[in-house]
Structures are given as C-alpha cells and as structure tokens.
Structure 1
Amino acid sequence: MKRQRGIALMLVLWVLTLLTVMAVSMTTAQRTEMALTENHVATTRFRLLSDAAIAYTALRFLMPDAIQDEPPALELDDETAESAEWRPNGAPHRWRFAGTELTISVMNELSRLNLNQTEPTVLTSLLEILGVSEDAAAQLADAIADWRDEDDLTQLNGAEDDDYRDAGAAIGAKDGPFVAVEELRQVLGMTQEIYRRLAPEVTVEGEGADPELAFASPAILAATQGISLEDAQLQIVERDTTTVPGARGPRAANRGGPLYRILVTDDIAGQRGRRMEALMELMPGQQPPYLVHWRRFNPLREAE
C-alpha cells in the first residue's frame, strides 16, 4: 500500500511539474507575442508620423517668404510651437504631433558633393577633412573616379578590374555612374568607418559638380573652398545667423531646393529611437505639390 501511495505521489508531482512547464511556456509565448505586437504597432505609428512630418516640412518650404518666420495656421497640438525659420542646413527642429515629439532635420540635397561629377582632387580634400590619411584619400578618390568612368584606364592611384580581382573582390569596377550612395561600399579601399563619414556628404542627385554652398556642411565648404574645417565652421555660424539686432519686417528666405533630404527621429532622453530618412522634391503649383522619391527607416547614423 505504501509503495502504491509513493508511486501515486510521484505521478502527481510529475504532472504538476509538467503543468508548471506548460504554464511557463505559454506565459513566455504570450509575452513574446505581446512584445512583437507592441513593436509592430509602434513601428506603424512612427511610419505614419514620419509621413505627417514630411507633409509638414513640405508646407513649411512651400509657404511664401513673407510668412516663413511665422508658424503655419494648423491645429496640430497644443504643445506645438515652431516660430523659427526653417532652412535646409541640417538644423534640428522639434515638432509635436498627435501627442508625440519628433525631431525634423532638413538638408538641401544639392549642397552635397555629386559622386558622378566631382573631380578626384575635391574628393581627396573632402576625405582628408573627414580624417582619412593623405595617401588613402588619394587612392580612394581615384578609385571612385575609376568606378564611375566608362573606360578601363586606371587613374594614378585608382583601381580597375584587375585590381579588384587581385584584391579578391567578387566584382570589378562598375564603369558606369553611381545610382545610389550605397555603391560606395563596393569601391576598392572603402571601409565601413570611411563610408560612415563620407556618405552624409555626397549624393547622386543633380547634374552639376558644384554644390550649393548656401547650405553646405562644414566639410563640403572646406573641401571646395580650400580652407580649414575650423574656418568653414566659423563661416557657417555667420551664414546661418538669421536674426539682425534691430531689424524688423519680413525677410526673403533662400530655401534652396527643389530636392531636400529629411531626417525624422523620435529619440527620447538620449536613447536611440526610430529614424526615417527621405528624399523629397518640391513641385510648387502641381498636384501633388511634393514627391517623395524614397524613404529609409533606421538609416546609418552619422554619430555611430
């Protein structure tokens, strides 16, 4: 009898253990499913907020010069207060919409160096300003030129198909224009660190070799003007000063365009949040008045 009771007790304990494991597994699965659902909802919400931010930015830049310094007459949020002029120089603007505070930065796309038009000497200067050694900068600039040109003649420090083959690369030089900045990753000699620094300064949009300096970054200004980065930064501080003591009345605003790079972030308390980068083209007088060429969510961070 005692033996039967012992066996029964063991069976009961075994069943209880099995039920406990099943309960824990179900709880874990439910928590995982809830976390995935919450993340999906948050991601979808951020995508919609990003579209709203793009539309708001388009409105800001489509407004007449005389009212650019005044906030749009929109019922957005009681906590939305944006009275500063928006210029496409990368300055961050806090914007609150639908109970969420976002940061919007706008950059004039044609104030970047054109990868398909810029001379290797200017690319070399830019790379040096970004911290690349003199020799490595010259080699990489010539490799970029060899990547985009249609011939198989190697620049002084460049790289054509044989050089890629010798380096064990799966492909050779493209011998055609860049269609995306990301192609830089395939250029011989390009590292992740150099790409991280260079990508925010270049573009494949437009046809001219000369960037619009009115909104250029310090690195672009220094590389194209042959000045130090420190002098370029001082010039930009003076350039971007929009207020004059004692001045009154509206002022004509130079807003560049028509292509703008927009970065929307929802970083909270210094933590890394969601990010959206988009290329927008303004088309005043047309319907729709703006066009989004592409969007990228969680793009490469310049500060990483």
Structure 2
Amino acid sequence: MMARRDRGVALLIVLWGCTLLAIMLGGFAALARTEGLQARYQYAQTRAHYAAEAGVMRAIEGLQGRDIGSRWIADGRSYLFEFDDAKVTITIVDEDGKVDLNAASGDVLTGLFKAAGATDDKARSLSSAIQDWRRPGDAASPNGAKKPQYDAAGVGYGPRNGPFATVEEARMVLGMDAKTWSAVAPALTIWSGRERPNSEHAQALALAAIPGLGRAGADAILAKRGQADGGVVAGGNGVTHTIRAEAILDDGTRSSLTSTIRLRGIRSGNQPYAVLRWREGDAE
C-alpha cells in the first residue's frame, strides 16, 4: 500500500515537472518570437531610415548638378527616387521663399498671420511682438511686448532682445497660440536674411504674406508655376534649403527625415554642404 502511494506521489511530481517544463518552453518560444519580430522591425526601420538619408543626399546632388537646366527646383514640388527597394519621395523648399523671423518687415509678418487666419488685431499684435522679441531695448512698440508685458502675462520669461536663435523660439512670443503656430511654422525661417519672401520659391502662405499680393496673387503665381513653361527656372535656387525625404518599403515600413542644409558649392577639399537642422520623423 505504501509503495503504491509512493508511486502515485512520484507520478504527480513528474506530471507537475512536465507541466512546468512545458510552460517554460512556451515562454521561451514566445520570447524568441517576440525578439524575432522586434529584430525584423528594427531591421526594416533601419533600411527605411537609410533610404530616407539617401533621399536627402540625392536632393543635394540634384540641387548642384553640373547641368543647370536639369537641377532640381526648390519650390516644394515632389521628386521620386528609388533606393534599395524603397520608394523615396523628396520635396525641397528654398529658405529664401519663407518669412524670416529676424529680417521680415512688419507688413510681411502681419500679412503672414492674417493669411493664416488671425484677425487683423491679432495679426498686428503678433507682428509687433516678434519685432520686439528681436529688437534690443526695453521699450515696447505699439501693440508689442517687452519684459513688463511678459511679466504681466505670468509666463516666467521675457523676450530675447536679439535675433531668434531657432524657428521654434517663435512659439514663445507673447500671443502665439498653438493653432496659429501650427499654421505658420512651415513658412518661417531664420536663414534667408530677406525682408520679404522670394516669390519664385515661396509656398502659398508665404506668398500671401507679401504686401499687395494676398491669396489671389499667391494662387496666380502657384498656377503659373505649375505649368510646364512656368516662371521658375532650374538652377535659380538659393543656397539654403529644407529637404524632406520620406521612404516607404514594400512591406509598408516608413521613415522620414527633414534637414535644412546650406550649399557650399562643389570644390576640391570643401564639404559641399553644411547641415543647419536635422529632424527625424514628422514632428515639427
């Protein structure tokens, strides 16, 4: 009787051991499968990332081709490029077609905010606040904002009283709300040095900011630009550009890069471009 009970206990222990072993093996199999999926995902993401990087390099080459007539045009049009089984879509925007936070006139800034949907009063106020941010001194301009106005708003900081160091710094300007910022951000720059955007390269919002042009004039310029014999001539680009490259693999894996670069020309011993800003993904 005792021997039979001992055999039953031994059998129960063996069954429990087999169950535990099966659970452990199942866990290891699930872990291995998860790690395999992660490895494949990371590999695909890496391929897509470097395909997007290749797109940026292809854009730089396209902007500096020896044949001026075949150079890529930096007015926001799309170029397609295939690299390592990835389809890459590239757009290039010349920074001289944007509104320069450090150089734009008050009329251009006001026009930009009005074109973005701000009321006349808010557009003038934001324009003055931007000019006060970049202007030395403590006295606010009419409708503008210096340190006392920022203190009264309780934001805990004041204007730089000097040039904007980044485009994103404009988010801190008194009165700049999230909706307005989202609308105007793609049209802003700190790298053109121009009082008004270059109409040959400017996008719709920046065009509409040019005094006397407005939406109707901007639409007319864009319509002409879209024609085969439009007014944009290849090779007429500036030197500073924002390039966006989006790569998509056959399995749908996607990666995007946005880089602002300054061309230096192709000369022996000279780096042909300098990177001013580099962002991965779609975040502004």
**Alignment TM-score > 0.5, same fold:** yes
- What are the Cα deviations for residues 10-62 of structure 1, in whole angstroms up to 9, with x where unaligned? 76675566445544543443344334333432333233223322222222222
Q: 2:115 aligned with 1:113, yes or no?
A: no
1:82-93 correspondence runs (5 A): 86-93=72-79
8 Å CA contact 1:196, 1:300 repeated in 2: no
Which residue does 2:155 correspond to in 1? 169
Whole-angstrom distance in 1 between the partners of 2:221 and 2:240: 24
Which residue does 1:94 correspond to in 2? 80
Q: Which of the residues 282, 288, 297 maps onto 2:280?
A: 297
> In structure 1, the residue corresponding to 2:279 is in which secondary structure?
strand
Is there any run of 5+ residues in structure 1 with no aligned partner, and where? 69-84, 245-250
Structure 1 residue 265: Cα displacement = 0.7
> In structure 2, the residue corresponding to 1:224 is in which secondary structure?
coil
8 Å CA contact 1:277, 1:296 repeated in 2: yes
Which residue does 1:237 correspond to in 2? 223
1:34-73 correspondence runs (5 A): 34-65=36-67, 67-68=69-70
Q: Which of the residues 209, 212, 216 maps onto 2:195?
A: 209
Which residue does 1:128 correspond to in 2? 114
> In structure 2, the residue corresponding to 1:274 is in which secondary structure?
strand
> In structure 2, the residue corresponding to 1:170 is in which secondary structure?
coil
What is the TM-score of this pair, normalised by structure 2? 0.83
> In structure 2, the residue corresponding to 1:139 is in which secondary structure?
helix
Percentage identity across aligned positions? 29
Compare 182-191 and 26-35 and name the one that shifted more. Answer: 26-35
Whole-angstrom distance in 2 between the partners of 1:36 and 1:43: 10
8 Å CA contact 2:53, 2:257 repeated in 1: no
Whole-angstrom distance in 2 between the partners of 1:5 and 1:33: 42
Is there any run of 5+ residues in structure 2 with no aligned partner, and where? none
Compare 50-59 and 35-44 and name the one that shifted more. Answer: 35-44
- What are the Cα deviations for residues 203-256 of structure 1, in whole angstroms up to 9, with x where unaligned? 011323232211111211121133332431122111342338xxxxxx963431
Whole-angstrom distance in 2 between the partners of 1:120 and 1:49: 41
Which residue does 1:247 correspond to in 2? none
Structure-2 change in CA distance of 1:151 and 1:3 (3 Å): farther
Greater relative contact order (Cα 8 A, min sep 6): structure 1 or 2? 2
Q: Kindly name which structure, 1 or 2, has the bigger radius of gyration based on alpha carbons.
A: 2
Structure-2 change in CA distance of 1:232 and 1:178 (3 Å): same
Give 4+ residue runs of structure 1 displaced > 6 Å after superposition: 1-10
Structure 1 residue 5: Cα displacement = 8.1
